[in-house]
Chains A and B, each alone.
Chain A
Amino acid sequence: MRADRFMGGVLLLFAMATLWFASELRILPSSSTTVTTRSLPFAVGVVIALGALILILRPSPRLLGETLAPVLRPQAMAFVALLFVYALTFRYVDFRFGVWLFMLVSMALLGERRPLMLAIMPIACAAVIFMIFRYGFIVLVPTWI
């Protein structure tokens, strides 16, 4: 399957959803002009729908498998998942511990195998980044102690 055709389909559904949600927006009785709060989302939804149709009808030769290959690589998916978990738990975990753990796991995931690097870099980064943000930029990052 052509990548553009697949993306065109997804975007067409997205545009339909946008148009539906835009039609549900409340218009104030005092709105006097013909251009309302719905107008821009409607216009944008129409442009996305037209663009999606063009992608479906005139796709580039690139295949879906080839396009999704970099996204579906286990290393990339694992790093994305790790980043997502880090963001979700950011406010609950001590900043220094979170940076250390994220650095350690992601360095190993991205191919770092030198034990000394894995031992030193996460600790050094956690300390330096914490000092910069906490005392340099006075950002109250989450801490346990």
Chain B
Amino acid sequence: MDLISLDTLGAAAATLFEPHILLWCLAGVIAGFVFGASPGLTATTGVAIATPLTFGVDFNSAMALLLGIYASGYYAGSIPAILINTPGSPGNAATALPGYRLAQRGMADYAIGLSTVGSSLGGLLSLVVLLFFAPALSTFALKFTSVEYFTLGLFGLMCVAAVSGGSMIKGMIAASFGILLSTVGIDQVDGTTRFAFGFPAMQAGIPLIPALIAFFAIAEILSQIHTNTSNRPLVAQVSFPVAGLVPVFLRNWWVVIQSAAVGTFIGILPGTGPTIASWIAYGMVGKGRRAAAGGDDAAAEHEQDTRHLIATEVSNNAVTGGALVPLLTLGIPGDTVTAVLVGALLIQGIDPGPFFIIQNTDLFVVILGVLLLSAILITVIGLSARRVLPKILAIPYPILTPIVAILCITGVYAVNSSSFDVILAVVMGILGFLLLAFRFPMPPIVIGLVLGPIIETNFRNGLLANGGDISVFATRPISGSLLAILAIILGWQVLRSLRKTS
């Protein structure tokens, strides 16, 4: 905290009240509502599509737009989860259980209110952690050498591969494929060209933004063609006063704190995300409630659903602040959206890493301010328009899909005005579509692409600096500890999958 002076805070506050920043953030929050609430589209898709658009705007406007989409996208997935039992994104899957039960009892308005306030509280509480924890970690990270960066990169990548859902083997193959894509082009250490196959455009490597859009957006929309969920009937809502939510949250203050802590902690771990956070928070509430309730009457069931809903929504939005901690302090993405944000920061000429907060304290404070602004906008818009928001679900799928496809392609073109990038993105998107059909997860591919150069360069530099002694990766305390944790995670996952198959 001592890194941030009052002058910096004041300047950042003044920036946030500039009309164009407010408008960008508002646009981001509204876009996030659309992407989050449309089943099949996610906050990651929204941020991936919007990232190339930030090429022509300044850092503050870019962050206002992207973080607005990030925060509101994680929240808005709860709307279809509550109303039609179809989570807008995987992070809201746990919300569908208590949310849809409440909606079936005519309490959809109450459930959306809980989700709105819970999401904002989650975002705000994780912001406090980001404010106090990130500068301290950033200072600590200055002591890291290539050895630690290699291990951190490997740790983040393997965590994504192990926990990104489905088979761990497929996660590993996907991560390896992502790393392989990152080796295309001129080798950063030797200067030799790898896997360009005579294409001059490939010598610069696989560009990050087209790859992000391909694997997170194009592959997703193609895989949604056979699952049109937008025609499901919406549940009729019984209105519930906003003021009535205050005693509910006061009664469940401990659930809020506990779930925010879970979400933030899970967010800090590289490669995790809102899906894991919300299920853990859901499970933690479940155990406590059974002990307290004892019975299964309607009131207890209502109270239990309320607690579960608060837990899932607080935790999945608390991931946002947490996931920014490793990105802004170590340059390692905490979740899929922050992997996309790496591209956004590079567009602005900023290299995320331990020097980011120290050299750009003003920009760090702007990021905090934009997250705060997003949380406020989510609350205001979410509560005042909660009867209109379900209409997003009524956007016909034959209209939404081509619009998203056009935005993807034009967004890719906008970065370098390169038609080669457009073709590359579509080819990679089709490849992603095929891999999704075989249940290969997409996040490890993209995070492999982001972390591949970090892993390779630091491994080679680490060896060079230590006379080719490979044991240095195990003997240095931080690196050795991370490798040990990684071995435990991988060992546990292998045992689990072997037990499952047997």
Contacts and interface: CB of A to CB of B under 8 A. Distances in A.
Say whether A and B bind each other.
Answer: yes
Contact of A47 (B173, B222, B396, B414): B173
Query: Which residue, of A11, A40, A88, A133, has the highest number of chain B Cβ atoms within 10 A?
Result: A40
Nearest to A25: B194
A6 to B, nearest CB: 8
Contact of A33 (B401, B405, B460): B460
A28 interface: yes
Contact of B438 (A33, A67, A73): A67
B interface majority secondary structure:
helix
B398 A107 contact: yes
Given A11-B173, A33-B460, A54-B169, A90 B409 contact: yes
B437 A70 contact: yes
B56 A41 contact: no
Interface of A: 3-4, 7, 11, 18, 21, 25-28, 31-37, 40-41, 44-45, 47-48, 51-52, 54-55, 58, 60, 62, 67-71, 73, 75-76, 79-80, 83-84, 86-88, 90-91, 95, 99, 102-103, 106-107, 109-112, 117, 121, 125, 129, 133, 137-141
Contact of B405 (A25, A83, A133): A83
B456 interface: yes
A33 B463 contact: yes
B433 interface: yes
B207 to A, nearest CB: 15
B405 A91 contact: no
Contacts of B456: 40
Given A52-B173, A84-B426, A103 B406 contact: yes
A107 B410 contact: no
A106 B405 CA distance: 10
Contact of B460 (A25, A35, A41): A35
Contacts of B195: 21, 41
B169 A51 contact: yes
B410 A129 contact: yes
Contacts of A95: 410
Interface stretch (B4-12, B114-122, B138-146, B415-423): B415-423
Contact of B413 (A25, A84, A90): A90
A30 to B, nearest CB: 8
Interface in B51-93: 53, 55-57
A48 B425 contact: no
Given A26-B192, A33-B468, A106-B401, 11 more contacts: A21-B195, A58-B501, A69-B226, A76-B225, A80-B430, A83-B222, A87-B423, A133-B414, A137-B56, A138-B56, A139-B410
A119 to B, nearest CB: 13
Contacts of A32: 464
A-B pairs, top 9 by smallest CB distance, nearest first, are A110-B398, A91-B419, A112-B398, A87-B426, A106-B402, A51-B173, A70-B226, A139-B414, A47-B176
B223 interface: yes
Contact of B397 (A52, A68, A110): A110
B216 interface: no
B14 interface: no
Residue with the greatest number of chain A CB neighbours at <10 A, chosen from B398, B403, B414, B452: B398
B187 interface: yes
A67 B439 CA distance: 9
Given A28-B190, A90-B413, A121 B399 contact: yes
Contacts of B464: 32-33
B187 A37 contact: yes
B409 A80 contact: no
Given A33-B464, A33-B468, A37-B187, A137 B401 contact: no
Interface stretch (B177-185, B253-261, B348-356): B177-185
Interface string B437-473: 1110000000000001001100110011000100000
Contacts of B183: 40-41, 44
A68 B437 contact: yes
Contact of B399 (A54, A55, A76, A112): A112
A25 B193 CA distance: 8
A112 B180 CA distance: 40
A127 B427 CA distance: 27
Given A21-B195, A137-B53, A140-B417, A75 B225 contact: yes
Nearest to A111: B398
24 contacts: A7-B438, A28-B192, A34-B468, A41-B183, A41-B194, A48-B173, A48-B176, A55-B170, A76-B225, A79-B225, A80-B222, A80-B430, A80-B433, A83-B409, A83-B426, A86-B426, A106-B402, A110-B397, A110-B398, A111-B398, A125-B406, A129-B403, A129-B407, A137-B55
